[in-house]
Amino acid sequence: MSKAISELNFPDDLRYADDHEWAKSEGDKVTIGISDYAQDQLGDIVFVELPQAGTTLAKGEEFGTVESVKAVSELYMPIGGEILAINPELEDAPELVNNEPYTRGWMVEVRPDDFSEVDALMDKAAYLKMLEGTED
């Protein structure tokens, strides 16, 4: 059974997309993963498919899939840019996305085409409003 939104973790220093990806700027790169809400909704994650490093994708393009015991879900780029690295740990330990979605469960590192796309993503308060269905 899914947790209540109040039981989930949403770090203040991240930005969030409508499709439940998170983005964290660190210098000239941005790390991307899926939110605690997304992993909780998916259930036990058994496989993560990610692109090759060097791939360039536009904002909104599919960058991979997450397979759980319930379903296969597409992952969408919250920003456009070049994939610099993928998380090698997820190949053998996809459950890291469930256990540590913001740390060891990250998915890709991206060199953004435009940093303003990161700023345009939701902050924690806006994301929580969206999840609670009280978005203005």
Per-residue pLDDT of 14-66, as tens digits, reads 999 999 999 999 999 999 999 999 999 999 999 999 999 999 999 999 999 99
CATH match for 30-115 among 3.20.20.70, 3.90.1330.10, 2.40.50.100, 1.10.10.10? 2.40.50.100
- What average pLDDT is seen over the chain? 95
Residue located via tokens 């806006």: 126
Q: Is 86 helix (H, G, I), strand (E, B) or coil?
A: strand
Distance CA 51, CA 37 (A): 23
Sheet holding 29-34, edge to edge: 15-16, 21-26, 29-34, 108-112, 81-86, 56-57
Q: Pull the structure tokens for residue 42.
A: 């998916």
pLDDT at 112 over 90: yes
